[in-house]
Structures are given as structure tokens and as C-alpha cells.
Amino acid sequence: MKNNKFALSGGDAFFPQALPVGQLYFPSWDRYKAAMRGIFERRYYTNQGPLVQQLEGRLQDYLGVKHAICITNATIGLMMAAEALELSGKVIVPSYTFIASPQSLSWAGIEPVFCDVDPSTHQIAIDKLDSLIDPHVSGIMGVNLWGGACDVLALENYAKSKNLKLYFDSAHAFGCVVDEKKIANFGSIEVFSFHATKVLSATEGGCICTNDDVLASRLRNIRSSYGAGKIVPVVKTSNGRMSEAQAAIALMSLDDFPDNQKNNENLFRTYMERLKHIPGIKLVKPAGVTFSNYQYVVCEIQKTTFGLSRDSLVKVLNAENVMARRYFYPGAHRTTGYNDSLSLYEYSLPVTDYLCDACIQLPIGAMVDTNAVASICKIIENSHRNADYLQSFLIENKK
Ligand code: T4K
């Protein structure tokens, strides 16, 4: 969008380089080199090396949790959690999440039972749980979304009253605080992602947190014999180890977390300020936390008021090199793996279906600054003002 011409209709893209949606933390080359030199000097790449051990200690201190067990990514962490918790039959999980949440259950031979989410917070709808419970349900997986949290305390009480196991996919929630307690300390287990797009990055990676010694021993033995600590019998083992190179990046990312969090918060507030006057776009604020990592910017597009659908706005922004995307899309219950049970959920997850059609994720993190955010908001405002023109352009050109 240069000289008032949208890139979609032949103008030049506003941004010369693509602005991605994730955190994408890169330490300085000198720091990276020094960390890698240490690994070369020690001649030790992986298998619970000194950097992984250091990272586990620092995470435990930072999160105030008894056990932080580093892993190669959160997907395998969720699979390990299902095994360690000895879940069986069915587990309730929101459908409005990344596909790894329910897929980790499928890998463990457990049927996911999809729950709807709360329309204002996007977190699991606790008032819908009763209708999903049957004698085969053995647990609940809460998903802490968007740098916010489910109502974790209410979920703990609920799970206790129904004698169900409770654990959390906290891939989005590193550093977030509920009632002066860091996320990591709720339910039996919490799993974080340290993927490159997350606020704490190991490039790929994650950690599993628990305050339960027995579960921690089981998890360490499931992860691998390296770092297993006390040997306890487990039926399934895996390779969920984190490498030294992953841990080296994560340690630098942890050092820089306060700065990155502040930067994200500042960018988020800029979005809030600049988007609040534009009709039909609602920025979702992190729910249920007193401190957020602000690692995601997610907005609902109300098509009739904004003038364009979410999908059309994604096309307009992508042409300007703003790599906004649909998030999450489709709902997990509409993905190939769960086709067989779609009839159960076709009409029972109205909020999830609405959000999958309405939500857009916008860039935040290390690759954007406040000027870029202000320009993205300007493009969105211009898209609203020129919605009729853009819509007919998209139709005529079958885009
Ligand atoms: N639970 C939840 C709720 C999750 O959101 C996730 C993962 C998980 C569990 C599982 O965690 P992990 O097993 O991944 O640890 C991304 C991430 O791979 C994934 O971590 C994340 N959530 C998911 C929602 O998004 P992709 O495949 O859609 O990312 P991608 O490649 O499209 O990257 C996003 C943008 O960043 C693109 O514009 C490209 C750009 N990019 C990406 C990378 C990796 C770069 O410019 N450089 C890079 O190095 O999944």
C-alpha cells in the first residue's frame, strides 16, 4: 500500500520484507558463537548435557516449580504427559487449539472429547464440561491460549470434584502469572513450547513442569534413560531429549525474556490504541492472568461491521508482506484425523466454529517495532475504509 494503492490490486507492498507472526528470537552472532564454541570444547552435543541441566535448574527457579523437564518439543511433551498420567478412554480438550493438543491424545490411544470455548476469553468453557462427561472420561487437558490462561483454579476444583486428572497445554503461556503463581504450577502437569515462534525459544524445544515427585520420575524415565534420575518402571519410553544447542539458545532467550516480554507488551498496547477506533475488529486481551507474555496478537473480525471477511483481510495484508494468518483454522474437530467423529461435533461447538472463521493473528515479537505496528494498523484501517472496493476487486479477480 504505497501512494494509496493496495499491493493486492497492483501497488507496491508496504513492507519490503515479510513480517512474520512469531517471536523469532535471535541472540547476537557473538553470543551465539560463544555458546556453540563451549559445546565444541566440551565435545558434548546431547543426552542431558551440562546446558540442559543448567536450563532445567534455571526454569525451576524462575517458574517456582519443583521439576522442569526439558524436552525436544511440546508435541512430544504432551504425548509423554498422557503416558505419565496413565490416562485412558477419553480426555476432554478444547477444539479451538493447535492440532498437537488432541493429536497427542490420539497417539496415546485416547479419544479426544472436544469442548467449546468461552466467547470472550477463548479459553475452555467450564460450563460445557458436565455435558461431556461419561464413565470413560479420565481427564481434562486445559489449553492456556494467547498469553492468557483458562480459569485454572475453577478447573482444578471441577476436576477434583469429578475425580478426573487435569493437566495443561501451556505452549503459549511461558512467564504468565495467575494469582501470584506462575503458570507451571496448576493441574498435575503443564507443558510449555520453546518453538522459535514462542516467547521463550530453543528453536525447537519445550519443558514439562510438575510439583509431583512420582510424576516427575515417570516423565524423566519416559523421556529417555539419560537424565532419568531414579529408575522407575514405565511401559513406554521415547526420545524426548533436548540437545545442548537447543538449551544454549533457550538459556540466552531466558536471559532476554524480561526485555522481550516488555517489547511485546509495548507492541500489544500500540495495537490496542490504534485498532480501538476501527469498527468490526476486536483485539483479544490475555484473559485470566495478572502478568502476560503478550506473545500473540489475535483479533476477531466481525465481517458485517468491518466490511471484509477475515479471509479477505488476510489476503490484503499478505500482499503488503504482513504475514497475518487464520488462527486456528480449521477447528481440530474438522481436521482429517477426526472426520469419523465429526457428526458428534458438527453443531455443538458454535463458538469454536465462529472463532475459526473470525480470528486473525497479526505480527508481534522481535521482527516488528512500534512503527511497523502503526503501519499495519493503518493498512487495516484503510482496508475497512475501502472494503467495498477491495471486496469487488477480490471477486472480479477470483482471488
Ligand atoms: N499446543 C499449542 C497450543 C501450540 O500452539 C503448539 C504449537 C503446540 C502445542 C506444540 O508445540 P511444539 O511441538 O511446536 O513445540 C507454528 C509452530 O510450529 C508451533 O510451535 C505453534 N504452536 C503453531 C501454532 O505455529 P507453523 O508451522 O504454523 O509455523 P510457521 O512455520 O508457519 O511459522 C510462523 C511464521 O514465522 C511464518 O510466517 C514463517 C515465520 N518463521 C518461522 C520460523 C520457524 C520464520 O520467519 N523463521 C523461522 O525460523 O507452526
Q: Which residue has the cell 540442559?
A: 52
CA 61 to ligand 1 center in whole angstroms: 27
Amino acid at residue number 90:
K
Asked if residue 330 has a cis previous peptide bond (ω within 30° of 0), the answer is yes
How many A from CA of 192 to the centre of ligand 1? 13
Average pLDDT, the chain: 96
Task: Report the 3 state secondary structure along 255-308.
Answer: HHHHHHHHHHHHHHHHHHHHHCCCCCEEECCCCCCCECCCCCEEEEECHHHHCC
Ligand 1 centre to CA of 100 (Å) is: 11
Percent residues over pLDDT 90 in the chain: 95
Tell whether the model's pLDDT for residue 381 goes beyond 90: yes
How is residue 36 annotated by DSSP?
Answer: H
Residue that is written with C-alpha cell 482496508 in the block? 383
Compute CA distances 392 → 46, 188, 235, 244, 387, whole Å: 56, 52, 59, 53, 9
Burial class of residue 88, CB neighbours in 10 A (0-12, 13-18, 19+) = middle
Nearest to 107, CA basis, from 264, 236, 297: 236
Which helix (H) or strand (E) element contains residue 316? helix 310-319
Q: What is the pLDDT of residues 144-184, one digit of tens each?
A: 999 999 999 999 999 999 999 999 999 999 999 999 999 99
Confidence of residue 387 (pLDDT cuts 50, 70, 90): very high
Give 319-347 pLDDT, tens digit per residue: 999 999 999 999 999 999 999 999 999 99
Query: What is the whole-number distance in angstroms between the Cα of residue 194 and the centre of ligand 1?
Result: 10
Cβ contact 49:183 at 8 Å: no
2, pLDDT greater than 80: no
CA neighbor of 184 nearest in space, from 297, 274, 61 = 61
Residue with CA nearest ligand 1 atom 5:
98
Q: Taking 90 as the threshold, does the pLDDT of residue 22 lie above it? A: no
pLDDT reported for residue 399: 76
**Cα 166 to Cα 70, 118, 160, distances in angstroms:** 20, 19, 9
Enumerate residues 6+ apart whose C-beta is below 8 A from 183: 63, 144, 149, 152, 168, 170, 173, 174, 175, 176, 177, 190, 289
pLDDT value for 187? 98
Res 189 pLDDT > 90: yes
323 CA closest ligand 1 atom index = 38
Where does ligand 1 bind, in terms of residues with CB under 6 Å? 20-22, 24, 73-75, 97-98, 100-101, 143, 169, 171-172, 193, 195-197, 206, 323
* Residue 73 pLDDT: 98
Per-position b or e across 98-134, b if 16+ CB within 10 A of its CB: bbbbbbbbeebebebbbbbbbeebbbbbbebbeeeee
Tens digit of each residue's pLDDT (9 = 90 or more) over 340-366: 999 999 999 999 999 999 999 999 999
Mutate to test the pocket of ligand 1, among 80, 192, 197 (most ligand atoms within 8 A of CB): 197
Compute the distance between CA of residue 118 and CA of residue 141 in angstroms, rounded to an integer.
15
Phi, psi of 115 (to 5 degrees): -110, 150
Ligand 1 mean position, distance from CA 386 (Å): 32
Q: What integer pLDDT is reported at residue 159 of this predicted model?
A: 98
294, 354, 292: which is closest to 95 by C-alpha?
354
Rounded-to-integer distance, Cα 394 and Cα 317, Å: 13
Tens digit of each residue's pLDDT (9 = 90 or more) over 77-117: 999 999 999 999 999 999 999 999 999 999 999 999 999 99
Nine cell digits for residue 369: 517495532
- pLDDT given at position 92: 98
Ligand 1 atom showing the smallest separation from residue 22 Cα: 36
Q: What is the pLDDT of residue 397?
A: 82
What integer is the mean pLDDT of 26-53? Answer: 97
Residue of 123, 193, 242, 297 to mutate, ligand 1, most atoms within 8 A of C-beta: 193
> How remote is the CA of residue 391 from the centroid of ligand 1, in Å?
30
User: DSSP assignment, residue 399?
Assistant: -
**Using one digit for the tens of pLDDT, what is the confidence trace for 271-301?**
999 999 999 999 999 999 999 999 999 999 9
Distance from residue 397's CA to the centre of ligand 1 (Å): 31
